[in-house]
Copies of this chain bind each other. A is one copy, B any other.
Amino acid sequence: MSEIRYDPLQDRWVIIAPHRSERPSDFAAETGTEKTIPCPFCPGREHETPPELWAVREAGSRPDGPGWSVRVIPNRFPALNREKDYAESRNDILKCLNGYGAHEVIIESPRHGDGLADLSPSHLVAVLTAFRIRLRVLGQDPRLKYALIFKNYRDQAGASLAHPHSQLIATPVIPQSIRRKLEAARRHYRESGRCLVCSLLQAERGQEIRVIGEKSGFIALSPYAARFPFEIFIAPDVHTHDFADSTDRQLENLAEILQDMLQRLKRTADDPPYNLFLNTSPFAPHSPRGMNPDHGSATHGFHWHLEILPRQTAVAGFEWGSGFHINTSSPEQCARVLRRAHDP
């Protein structure tokens, strides 16, 4: 059983989940520590996963059988789950919540060798639609405060299975990075009356130095203070706080720019391992809906975005000990290279 423990020194939560160390890996053969396993995400082995939560399926195909193109399942080795009641324990200084939450897997394709960059545009829209539906469903649980959708591409970026998939983890507390982003956004909103990301996008579009591409309502850029070489930031170009409110048309446009960026990254940086994540606003508080002042400022202040962090450089003691990062590349140079990476 997991616990969500509070680190008072760093004002940060950590999930303690010893059972997760039992999960299988099909990269293990490379390290020689374990024998390979048949892929549990491939069609025909649907019975090896927990029952599906949502899928895009051929007409007439049955849940938990073949015939799907995108499939959402609970993680079999969840960091958090909803099978227990929400509970809290604390003494003066050591606080913990039990591991209430959700941990899901979005299997992005039935084809084991597919990359997200190679899916057809309509297939990628189906993946983004899965993200939207799961955020909408989990947002109904009043005990959950946030859901992070993320993807680990290749084992160097932390993937334990090669089959293309993303994950979702929903938590009963707002994670530290989101809290920090909300605080920065609120500060800027108080001072300027504007959304921080909107201000940032305006400054970047004026300069056209770090912008990689703009397409039908979305902008992709190399962040001014990027932590990693070829880091990419994608956001809607008008203020939008909640990804779950996206229309079908918006998801189509997002799929187009996301695929373009993943293709540019693949061609430019030799198909690097990467982490991708979606930072959307926290779940709206329930009852009385919309009356919570915190949520009010979240809607003004938060502007959803995707970040892609290529993982070809090590994170080491300086980063862990200070929170500073050293980026050994120039964001302007990376933007230039990615802009020039046209179709093959």
Complex interface residues of chain A between 156 and 192 (CB less than 8 A to chain B): 157-159, 167, 169, 171, 175-178, 180-181, 183-185, 188
Q: A263 in the interface, Cβ–Cβ < 8 Å?
A: no
A264 within 8 A of B: no
Is A56 part of the binding interface, using a Cβ–Cβ cutoff of 8 Å?
A: no
Set B9, B92, B226: member contacting A203, Cβ < 8 A: B92
| Complex partner residue of A321 from B13, B148, B329, CB under 8 angstroms | B148
Contact with B along A139-164 (1 / 0, CB 8 A): 00000001010111001011100000
Q: Which residues of B contact A146 (CB under 8 A)?
A: 322
Within 8 Å of chain B (Cβ to Cβ): is A91? yes
**Chain B contacts for A59, CB-based, 8 A:** none
Cβ A323 vs Cβ B279 within 8 A: no
Chain B contacts for A151, CB-based, 8 A: 317
Also in contact, A157 and B317, with CB within 8 A (given A9-B181, A20-B326)? yes
A322–B148 touching, CB < 8 Å: yes
C-alpha gap A317/B167 in the complex (Å): 9
B15 touches A327 (CB 8 A): yes
Stretch at the interface among A63-71, A118-126, A247-255, A308-316: A308-316
Residues of A within 8 A of B (CB): 5-18, 20-21, 79, 91-94, 146, 148, 150-152, 155, 157-159, 167, 169, 171, 175-178, 180-181, 183-185, 188, 196-197, 199-200, 203, 223-227, 275-279, 307, 309, 314-318, 320-331, 333
